Structure 1
Amino acid sequence: MQNKKVTFIDWGLIDYQEAWDKQEEVFNKTLSVKHENRVNDTSLPTENFLIFNEHPHVYTLGKSGKPEHLLLDEQALKEKEATYYKINRGGDITYHGPGQIVGYPILDLDNFFTDIHLYLRTLEEAVILTLQDYGIEAGRYPGYTGVWLDADNDKARKICAMGVRASRWVTMHGFAFNVNTDLSYFNHIVPCGIDDKDVASMEKELGYKLDIEEVKNKLKTHIADLFGMELV
């Protein structure tokens, strides 16, 4: 039986390593329930989580990424008060920092739909609808994941990056949505391995700082509606 209940948690500003460890713990627990069900022919329900947080300045490199896409050495990282991690999601290098909504849906897609392509498109759609709520027209850029502004012309710039990991239809990692993000930190990487496209934030587009809690609430509601979740 599908369990569409999803526990929403906001970890606030949290160290990247601590958040990664906590994610792994939840992810592995869900996998062990699925393993138990398969081995013992039981039908214990799996839990789902939607986790929002912000991180102190950090660069993360995905499995398909190139280390040379980080343009800072150790000393320069210290000067920028930033950390760097090689991690187990898909995708290349990206930046996380204060003023950015980082979302970690840890879902058993057997509870929703077993299609990773559709999963990514649905997360993108939730961000697109949230931006629409603020009068920002956004869309997709052919051949790339994430959410883009002016995707149909040479001013294309990314406002939300995505990189996920999935095993037995259980997801972790997720998206990074630039709300009030300090975009200068993107100057020190080749974002997502794309060297000819700019990055954007809601603050830069609208010319004022957003109430990030309000943006989170709108985004959370759109995600829940699109996936048919019952948030608890």
Structure 2
Amino acid sequence: MRRRHRLDSGGCGLSSTGQLGGLQGRRLFGFFQPVGRGPWPITPCPSSVLSFSPSRRLSPSHPFPPTARKMSGGARRVLEAWRVGVVRYGDALQLQERLVADRKGGRVGDLVLSLQHPPTYTLGKRHEKAERNLLASEAELRALGAELHRTERGGDVTFHGPRQAVLYPILSLRALGLGARRYVEGLESAMIQVAALHGVSARPGDPGETGVWVGDRKIGAIGVRISSGFTWHGLAFNIDPDLGYFDHIVPCGIAGKEVTSLRREVGDGVELPADEVIHDQLVRCLARTLGFTDVEFKDDSESGDMIGAAAATRS
């Protein structure tokens, strides 16, 4: 079942007024980007961004591209969000490769995969450097029930697992009018906004620190690949994963820093919504930050054929 959610004009953007920890800021494509890397005051996503309403399917014969359908009053950008549940890392990688090729060929519009992985360690494209930040052998990782994958994304070594929200946006940055830096800042902004929805003050990393942080504790990781202006890989936001898995790596190659989660930061006395709700909040905040006006959710029953085909290709 597909459901369309219209993002209101307030969106999930950051505050566009006031001081930023003593620094003035400027607006960049729907979120407030500080001059410098200080803490960002955040206007939480309004209630309308946290809900959605049913919508009819879009006609494949419509003459406008999927991400810029013509409506009265101007073009509307639709981000299709695939809720695909728990997917093995290799299958998700094969699926991304197919979707990036389809996006480049104009056969699909901009979309994002929203999922979780079984326990998995991944290395960035500089494999030798990343492997130095593995604190256990591959056999030891397998004994933990975890897979190890060497990838072509940016970044160092990280962990993916249950209770961690993973988003893989498949986007045309040229169609969105974005460069790589602003795109990555948008990923950061989405995670910061979702943390704020639950009372947690997060920030982008200091120079040399990727991802999103709560104090000196990392709550969100980013590792992207951009090919001819098209994106894949993406972000991982810790809802309540088993943080013990991070003891076997130097996360993202940054020594002496802790990893945290939304659960740990809000405290045991605070009830969090279901993981699926937080996944959807993250999708909506990312969509608004990157300039989309609508999100159309697509459940895993509709994308199961693509996932099955990816798994078959891999096996």
Superposition TM-score, scaled by structure 2 size:
0.66
Decide which of 54, 79, 82 is 2:146's aligned counterpart.
82
RMSD value, Cα: 1.6
Query: Does the alignment pair 1:168 with 2:231?
Result: no
Q: Which has the higher contact order (CA 8 A, sep 6+)?
A: 2
For structure 1, list consecutive stretches of 5 or more residues without a partner in the other structure. 34-44, 151-155
Query: Does the alignment pair 1:103 with 2:176?
Result: no
CA distance in 2, matches of 1:113, 1:92: 28
Deviation of 1:46 after TM superposition, in Å, equals 5.7
Aligned residues: 216
Normalized per residue, the structure richer in helix is 1
Identity %: 36
Look up the SS of the partner of 1:220 in the other structure: helix
Q: Of the two, which has the highest radius of gyration?
A: 2
CA distance in 1, matches of 2:95, 2:236: 18
Aligned to 1:147: 212
CA separation of 1:100/1:196 partners in 2, compared to 1, >3 Å: closer, same or farther? same
Alignment map for 1:78-227 (pairs within 5 Å): 78-143=142-207, 144-150=209-215, 156-208=216-268, 210=272, 211-227=274-290
Kindly indicate whether the alpha-carbon contact (under 8 Å) linking 2:158 and 2:252 is maintained by their aligned counterparts in 1. yes
Look up the SS of the partner of 1:66 in the other structure: helix
Aligned to 1:29: 102
Superposition TM-score, scaled by structure 1 size:
0.88
For structure 2, list consecutive stretches of 5 or more residues without a partner in the other structure. 1-64, 69-76, 297-315
CA distance in 2, matches of 1:179, 1:93: 19
The C-alpha deviation readout for 1:93-148, integer Å capped at 9, x for no partner, is 00000000011001011221231100011111111111111100010122222110
Deviation of 1:51 after TM superposition, in Å, equals 0.9
Write the letter of the residue equivalent to 1:56.
Answer: P
Write the letter of the residue equivalent to 2:220.
Answer: C
Look up the SS of the partner of 2:204 in the other structure: coil
CA distance in 2, matches of 1:20, 1:74: 20
Decide which of 67, 83, 88 is 1:15's aligned counterpart.
88
The C-alpha deviation readout for 1:165-189, integer Å capped at 9, x for no partner, is 0011100000010001111100000
Query: Does the alignment pair 1:59 with 2:121?
Result: yes
Aligned to 2:110: 48
